[in-house]
A and B are shown apart, each in its own frame.
Chain A
Amino acid sequence: MAVEKKVAAYICQGCGLGERLDTDALVDVVKKEGKIQQVKPHPFLCSSEGVTMIQNDIDNDGVSHIMIGACSRRAKTDAFNFPSVAMSRANLREGVIWIRPDTEEARETTQEMAEDYLRMGCAEIKAMRQPEGNPNTGTSKTLLVVGGGITGMTAALEAAKTGYPVVLVEKSGQLGGWAAKLHMRVPSHEPYKAPVDNGVAGMVSAIEADPNIKVYLNATLAKTSGAPGRFQAEIATESGSTATEDVGAIVQATGFELYDANKLPELGYGASPNVVDQGGLEQLAREAAERGGPILRPSDGQPVKSVVFVQCAGQRDASGTHLAYCSGHCCNTSIKQAMYFKDANADIDTTVLYTDLRTPGNGEDFYRSAQEKGVIFTKGKVASVQPAGNTCKVNFHDLILDDQNASIENADLVVLATGQVPNSGVNIDFKAVEGEEAAAEVEKKTISILNLDYRQGKDVPQLKYGFTDSHFICFPYETRRTGIYTAGPVRRPMDIAQAKEDATGATLKAIQALENAAIGSAAHPRSGDLSYPSVRLEGCTQCKRCTVECPFGAIDEDEKRYPLFNESRCRRCGTCMGACPVRVISFENYSVDTVGSQIKAVSIPDEFSEKPRILVLACENDAYPAMDMAAMNRTETSSFVRVVPVRCLGSVNTIWITDALNSGYDGVMLMGCKHGDEYQCHFVKGSELANYRMSKIDDTLKGFNLETDRVQTYEVAITDIDRVPKLINDFEKRMFEIGMSPFKGF
């Protein structure tokens, strides 16, 4: 980084900017108001000639800070890539000329808009520093995999194949998990016609043969501390001793248990040994295979001649008694198990009673194959299973013929498709959900899996039904604990094929995380970001808001109860910065000042000009790209808005809003992602926290004697390309209705 701060500005005239805007006037604004003397207009700034000009200034002229007035910061990032300097970008193309009509009347306001964006760009760059990367790095390249089932074994093998050493911890005495208990598995390749070998033995021997994978059997995690790049795992081993491993990232693949069929007495479980769950049937099938004979009825050892599969046993239950969700794999599993019988003896009557047959992936072909083999599928809801002697009577409601009293008699075996319950450890948010539908919630687990040494709790947070929280839509493997990834059925119900894919994805994310940690840069979703939060402790009042609000558990407390930032765990969302009431938290290139000074740089026309100013604080992950895309469609949008992208709505400090209102803005729009159970916020809790903060803003407005309509928060998705301009234009209309802010000119 250059020792002395030298700022230069560049204004592009390409893409129609030169024709639509008065470049000379823009240069004037940058010099006089932006106070940057070195300003260079260029007819085509992103061309190699333009880029070379800038690089030349950096290399030979000591330029350390650059302001580029051209297209959106999201465009031409390859051309405008100057990692050695701090850079701000004024969005004159998508932000101005593309959303304004090319008419004589519009010319004045279009020019004003462009000038404001340059003022903002100049103000921002002056408040910025070039990020240097988190100094508290750790460089362990080892991956810790917790759980030795299909998911964990896949993760270990994939990581080892990619060249990363692995430590695999498995609580039982052998690898393989659930899959090892399967007689056979659902096929994952063409022709999807018959069950195939479960594949466990091959994976186990590959692991045993791999010198890069160290396996701990009969072992659990006694304690996990540290951060990405430098986690320390204390492993409690069989012998009672503790082994310590330094690892860079963690994949938690702790799988599931079957829902306890004892909770389903109405389905005959427990009343007859001939009623089994899917796990029980696998056991019978394996015994039969070892014996080399047919599957036998447990009650008397006679060969099974008729078998009934009951789908959704204790699943998709709306009453709140059993699992509310669908486990996704069990229809295919029952189809596979029905084939155990049909493939051995086509005369065995096999009936699958289902309400909806859900066969994801290529399961549809598998389903058809079962039909060809003569497995009968009957759409019906099972009411009860009545054991009588060596057989059972299955009573059900035939949903096609609408016969409430349908039944199958003399079933030798009844198989219940109970679902998957995640092995996710302690529910650290348990208090929050206590009371509300406690019955529907999966029971609180008290045995921790990771034993994290974090103030936020021993395990990763859960989302619903005990499955670990992850950004379901966009980043499924990311938990809210940086560097720790969950994969497989602990994350959501799934089958073997999906679990393998999940494991591979999570492993790659874990590798990315430990590589990023080693160079002091952020993990996903700001992968590569070198900035990190720092706190001016002299000003800190120890209010702990940052510690509590950080969605990722990156802030602990030191002995003096000050916040202790764990940079390697930090995702750089800025939520702490938005939370801090005394504004002592900042990033080198993103701070209360970088945004605040932009807000203040905008020129506010007087009350009588009828030119309102509307500040839009837009999430740069969704709302801002949506605006860029609207601009590509040339959707006309108000000329009175000034948009500032923010890392996350959670990073919005209320001071920005009060400052904006104080300096005469007529309104403020905040645009962030959807929050709640189906959140889309890239930082999980950011938009939720912002919303909470903004719920208090009405009081501030009343204090100012301003209408509450002047500050509005919107949930915006990246797909809201038509909606965002409309929201802005409606807001503008509303501002004209309530009139200009009385704070102008003070």
Chain B
Amino acid sequence: MSNLSSQAAAQYNNNFLKEVEAMVEEGNWVKMCMQCGVCSGSCPTNFQAGWDHPPQEIFMMIRAGKREEVLNSQSMWMCTSCYNCIVRCPRKLPITHIMHGLANYAHRLGLAPKNQPTRHFAKLFWNNCIQTGRVNELKLSLGLYFKDGFKQGIINGLAMKDVALGLLKAKRLNPFELFKAHGCKDQKGIHAMLKKAHEIEERRKAIKTA
């Protein structure tokens, strides 16, 4: 895997495309894109800051061998999984899944953008929810507030204090959750299930890499 992360693909030959086809979930669809741009035109995110390349461009870049640019891109992390593009793509590409497949691949290679907010959120969410089988919303939002350090965390928290007080009043927020969160019933079972899923996933990736 280390050789893959350092490999610089020559431009406009098919090496990176072949890599994506082999390694990325649904990556074998990338060659089928006909560059019509319907996906990009359909994306409701309207490519807010952070979207450096719409899906159509990402697929073209893969074919152009722009490995670093694709794997370092924030774009895949910006997709909200709304599935608009999938519904509309005339070539029936599973665009959303490819976007997530690419994100996952970049993450595995350690090439995904550091501190990218949605990536950070995704990690936070996952680690939070697998503990008890249930998301602890208080911890999750605090974790987000303190993403950029303690000082910024306090500033973020103060900025949101009115909302928090409102939630408290309406009994939608329980500060004691910070110490004792309520979880799911069979937490052991959930952990066992996740472990199993992880094993299967690793095995599958191992086959793909082999």
Contacts and interface: CB of A to CB of B under 8 A. Distances in A.
B91 A368 contact: yes
Contacts of B12: 351, 378, 406-409
B60 A379 contact: yes
Contacts of B34: 357, 367, 371, 377
Contact of A400 (B31, B32, B56): B56
Interface string A403-441: 100111100000000000000000000000000000000
Interface in A371-409: 371-372, 374, 376-379, 398, 400-401, 403, 406-409
B201 interface: no
B15 to A, nearest CB: 9
Interface in B8-25: 10-14, 17
B95 interface: no
Given A401-B64, A406-B64, A408-B12, A374 B31 contact: yes
A376 B17 contact: yes
A400 B91 contact: no
B61 interface: yes
Contacts of B148: none
A349 interface: yes
A334 interface: no
A406 B14 CA distance: 15
B63 interface: yes
A372 B10 CA distance: 23
A379 B35 contact: yes
Looking at B12, B35, B60, the one whose CB has the most chain A CB atoms below 10 A away is: B12
Contacts of A367: 34
A372 B11 contact: no
Contacts of B10: 409
B57 interface: yes
Interface in B120-179: none
Interface in A255-302: none
A284 to B, nearest CB: 22
A382 to B, nearest CB: 12
Contacts of A401: 57, 60-61, 64, 66
A376 B66 CA distance: 15
Interface string B79-120: 000000000000100000000000000000000000000000
B61 to A, nearest CB: 7
Contacts of A88: none
B64 A368 contact: no
A306 interface: yes
B127 to A, nearest CB: 36
Contacts of B57: 400-401
B26 to A, nearest CB: 15
Given A376-B63, A379-B60, A406-B64, A400 B35 contact: yes
B60 A349 contact: no
Contacts of B13: 306, 349, 408
A368 B56 contact: no
A97 B63 CA distance: 68
Contacts of B60: 378-379, 398, 400-401
A400 B58 CA distance: 10
Nearest to B66: A401
A414 to B, nearest CB: 14
Contacts of A409: 10, 12
Interface residues of B, number: 18
B30 to A, nearest CB: 10
B203 to A, nearest CB: 27
Interface in A343-377: 349, 351, 357, 367-368, 371-372, 374, 376-377
A403 B57 CA distance: 12
Contacts of A406: 11-12, 64
Nearest to B15: A349
Given A368-B32, A401-B60, A406-B64, A376 B14 contact: yes
B167 to A, nearest CB: 46
Contact of B32 (A306, A372, A378, A403): A372
A589 B81 CA distance: 74
A475 B30 CA distance: 44
Contacts of A377: 34-35
A407 B64 CA distance: 10
Nearest to A376: B63
Contact of B63 (A306, A378, A407): A378
A411 to B, nearest CB: 10
A398 B60 CA distance: 10
Contact of B64 (A306, A372, A398): A398
A40 B24 CA distance: 87
Nearest to B32: A371
B93 to A, nearest CB: 11
Interface in A292-345: 306
Contacts of A374: 14, 31
A408 B11 CA distance: 7
Nearest to A406: B12
A379 B56 CA distance: 12
Contacts of A379: 35, 60
Interface in B30-85: 31-32, 34-35, 56-57, 60-61, 63-64, 66
A704 B164 CA distance: 92
Nearest to A349: B14
A356 to B, nearest CB: 10
A368 B64 CA distance: 19
B41 to A, nearest CB: 14
A407 B11 CA distance: 8
Contacts of A407: 11-12
A226 B35 CA distance: 55
A679 to B, nearest CB: 35
Contact of B31 (A306, A349, A376, A408): A376
A646 to B, nearest CB: 48
A353 to B, nearest CB: 10
B31 A371 contact: yes
Contacts of A398: 60, 64
A418 B56 CA distance: 29
A401 B54 CA distance: 11
A336 to B, nearest CB: 17
A628 B191 CA distance: 80
Looking at A351, A357, A401, the one whose CB has the most chain B CB atoms below 10 A away is: A401
Nearest to A374: B31
Looking at B11, B56, B57, B64, the one whose CB has the most chain A CB atoms below 10 A away is: B64
Contact of A378 (B56, B64, B66, B91): B64
Nearest to B91: A368
A306 B61 CA distance: 19
Contacts of B35: 377, 379, 400
B3 to A, nearest CB: 21
Nearest to A398: B64
Nearest to A353: B12
A368 B34 CA distance: 9
A398 B61 CA distance: 10
A376 B31 CA distance: 7
Nearest to B31: A371
A378 B60 CA distance: 8
A378 B57 CA distance: 11
Looking at B13, B32, B66, the one whose CB has the most chain A CB atoms below 10 A away is: B13
Give the 9 A-B residue pairs with the shortest CB-CB distance, closest first.
A400-B60, A408-B12, A371-B32, A379-B35, A349-B14, A371-B31, A376-B63, A400-B35, A349-B13
Given A351-B12, A401-B60, 8 more contacts: A306-B13, A357-B34, A368-B32, A378-B63, A378-B64, A398-B60, A406-B12, A408-B11
21 contacts: A306-B13, A368-B32, A368-B91, A371-B31, A371-B34, A372-B31, A372-B32, A376-B14, A378-B12, A379-B60, A398-B64, A400-B57, A400-B60, A401-B61, A401-B66, A406-B11, A406-B64, A407-B12, A408-B11, A408-B12, A409-B10
Interface of B: 10-14, 17, 31-32, 34-35, 56-57, 60-61, 63-64, 66, 91
Interface of A: 306, 349, 351, 357, 367-368, 371-372, 374, 376-379, 398, 400-401, 403, 406-409
